[in-house]
Every structure is written in C-alpha cells, then in structure tokens.
Structure 1
Amino acid sequence: MVYPAKLTAEAILRAALDLLEDGGDEALNMRALADSLKVRPSSLYRHYPDRAALVAALERHATLALHEDLREASRDRAPSEALSAAAHAYLEYTRAHPHLYGLLLAPRPPALAGPGPGKELWNYVLHLVGALTGNPDDTGAAVAYWAYLHGFALLERSGQFGLSGPRGGFERGLEALIHGLSTGKGGGR
C-alpha cells in the first residue's frame, strides 16, 4: 500500500491519465483512482479537492501536451509548412489521445481567456497563422484555421465520414485554407 504521505499530485495525475486513456471519462472516478494507487479515496482529496479539480489538471496537461506537439511539428519551418505540420500534429494528437482531447471539448460558458496553457496554445496558433498572413494579430484567420482542425477532428471522431473515410478531404481542405490565407483570399486581414 502506498502511504498517503508519499502520494504526490503528480502520481495521482499520472494514474488519472492512465484511467482516462484506458477507459474514457466514465472510468475516471475517485474510487477507481484510489484503488489504482492502493490508497483510500480520502487520500486523494489532499491534492485534489474534488473530481472537478482533477479534471482541470487533466485539461491543463492535455493543453500543454497539444501545444508542445504543435510547437515540435512546426519548429524551423516556413510559415505554410509550419501550419501544415501543426495541423497534422493536431490531428495525430486527437487520434492518439481521444479521451484527453475530449476533455478539451467540454462545453464551457464564454469567458475571457486569462493567462495559462489555453491562452498560450491560442497565442501559438495565432503566431503560426500571423507568420503566414503577415498580420501578427490575425484573429479571423486563426479562428478559421482552428475551426477547420477542430471540425475535422470532431467529424472523424464521431464516425461521420463513414466506412469510406474522408478520402483525402483533410489534405485538400488544409491546402485550400493555407493557400487562401497566404494570398489573402481566406477573408479579411
């Protein structure tokens, strides 16, 4: 048995990640988490006051990991290549970590984005898009890019492409979007 004094927030988060990745949101509950760590459920509350706090930590982890994947994929590339590589990294992340990605899709009331991983991820996407369009604050173009990635991932995830799959639709749409953004035909600057 793990002694609660040796239990860390990081160990709990790793175990929660395993539960989530293996069984989805339904598998993530405090009792199952405590069982996986061989502690009493009350031991978890010293580090995470409730399930919502644990889910928030998992969301933070997912956002940081996605951001790192996009940065790594786009590093040292020309703007159009960087956007394409980041788009592929985004899609690969959604496929490799569907349950973590699902946490990022949870409905939330509209709010101002404060400092933190979500804002940093958005700023990086804005930077990538701005490098292509020439406008470092091209929010409209960044929203179009983000919505395309998100929409494709959701359609794929929900099985909406059917057995035949998207048949190159991701590449075709991405090429058209990047071309439109690079020539200014993707909307206003």
Structure 2
Amino acid sequence: MPYPPKLTPELILREAQTLLDAGGQDALNMRPLAAALGVQASSLYRHFPDRAALLQALEDCASRDLTRAIEQASTGTTPRGALLLTCEAYVQYAETYPHRYRLLLSPRPPSVGQPGPGKDLWNTVLNLVSALSGHTDDTARTVALWAFLHGFVVMSRSGLFGLSGPKGGFEVGLSALLDEMERAATQGDVPRETL
C-alpha cells in the first residue's frame, strides 16, 4: 500500500484549489479536503489552524496568480497597451477561475491595506494606471478601472447581458476610461475626491 505524500502547505493548497474550482467555497471543508489528500482532518490543522486560515491562504494564492497574469500580459508595451492587456488578463482570470476570483473579492469590512499578496495586486494595477494618467498614486482612476472590470465580470457571469451579450460595451467603457487617463496625462487633470 503506497504511503500518501508528505503533507505540506503547498500540497494542501493545491488540493484545496481543486476543490474550490470544482464547487466553490461551499465545497471547501476540512473533512473532504483531508479525504482527498488521504489523511486525517486533524493533520491539516498543523498547517492551517482553521477553515478561515485556509481561505485566506487561497485568497493570497489567487492574488499572486492574478498579479502574475497581469505582469506577464502588460510587459513590454506602451502604458495604454499595458492597461488594455491587463484588463483582458483580469477578465480572463475571472472567467477561467470564477471561484478563486469570487474568493479574491469576497465581502469584508473596510480596513487599511496590509502588506501581502492582495496589496501587491492593488499596487500592480495602481502603477499601471499611474503610468498612463501621469499621476503618481492615482487611486481614484485605479478604483474606477477596478470597479468597471469587476462590474463587467459580475454582469457577464450572472447572465444579465442576455443572449445578445455585451454588444461591445466592454470595449466602449474601457476605451472611455483609458481616454480619460491619457487626457489627464496631457492636461494635468487631477480627479476630485468629492462631488
């Protein structure tokens, strides 16, 4: 009878991603995860003290994966081209890994961004936006872009576009955002913080 491989956090996370991808967060519990790994559930707790810690580790993995996809897509092109490719990579990630994406943007109380994979993801997008708009730390335009992307992903996944699809709405909206960023770079426009 073969022995199960040595249990490591990486092995646990790999199997947890498989369960997450197949059935979402509801399918991700310690007992089924332990069964899939061929171990007792108690042995998982040596690496992850509870389900919340496991979910946080999976969220960190998703943040790193999406950051890597964005960095690979946006390398070696103009600032506008980098953001176009970033947005395509973002939507592609959300479509390919919907449960990981949902975990990545699950609701949480407002808090100060802490160093880590989630903050790294934010900074990657922020730097790309700032490169196009010409404004260092362009949080307002980064929020606008991210809200647009997330809104598109949610509407697309929910079927709200119907059988006709978005009819080029993604391209129109993205183009408007990027045009405004380029205009800001040439005119020195700084977004207002309050209306």
For 2:48 and 2:138, locate their aligned partners in 1 and report how far apart those are by CA, in whole Å.
38
How do 1:1-189 residues align onto structure 2 when only pairs under 5 Å count?
2=3, 6-184=6-184, 188-189=190-191
CA drift at 1:126 = 1.0
CA RMSD of aligned residues (A): 1.5
Decide whether aligned partners of structure 1 residues 173 and 158 sit closer, same or farther in structure 2, where only a CA change above 3 A counts: same
**Identical aligned pairs, as a percentage?**
53
For 2:154 and 2:4, locate their aligned partners in 1 and report how far apart those are by CA, in whole Å.
41
Q: After superposition, what is the alpha-carbon deviation per residue over 1:41-82, rounded to whole angstroms, capped at 9, x for unaligned?
A: 111111111110100000000000001101100001100000
Decide whether aligned partners of structure 1 residues 33 and 97 sit closer, same or farther in structure 2, where only a CA change above 3 A counts: same
Q: Residue 20 of structure 1 contacts residue 100 of structure 1 at CA under 8 Å; is this kept in 2? A: yes
TM-score (norm 1): 0.94
- Which amino acid in 2 is paired with 1:121? L
What are the ranges of 5 or more consecutive residues in structure 2 without an aligned counterpart?
none
- Which amino acid in 2 is paired with 1:188? V
For 2:69 and 2:101, locate their aligned partners in 1 and report how far apart those are by CA, in whole Å.
13
For 1:121 and 1:128, locate their aligned partners in 2 and report how far apart those are by CA, in whole Å.
11
What are the ranges of 5 or more consecutive residues in structure 1 without an aligned counterpart?
none
Q: Residue 8 of structure 1 contacts residue 47 of structure 1 at CA under 8 Å; is this kept in 2? A: yes
- Which amino acid in 2 is paired with 1:63? S
CA drift at 1:105 = 2.0
CA drift at 1:161 = 1.1
CA drift at 1:141 = 1.0
For 1:59 and 1:152, locate their aligned partners in 2 and report how far apart those are by CA, in whole Å.
21
CA drift at 1:106 = 1.3
- Which amino acid in 2 is paired with 1:139? T
Q: Residue 73 of structure 1 contacts residue 89 of structure 1 at CA under 8 Å; is this kept in 2? A: yes
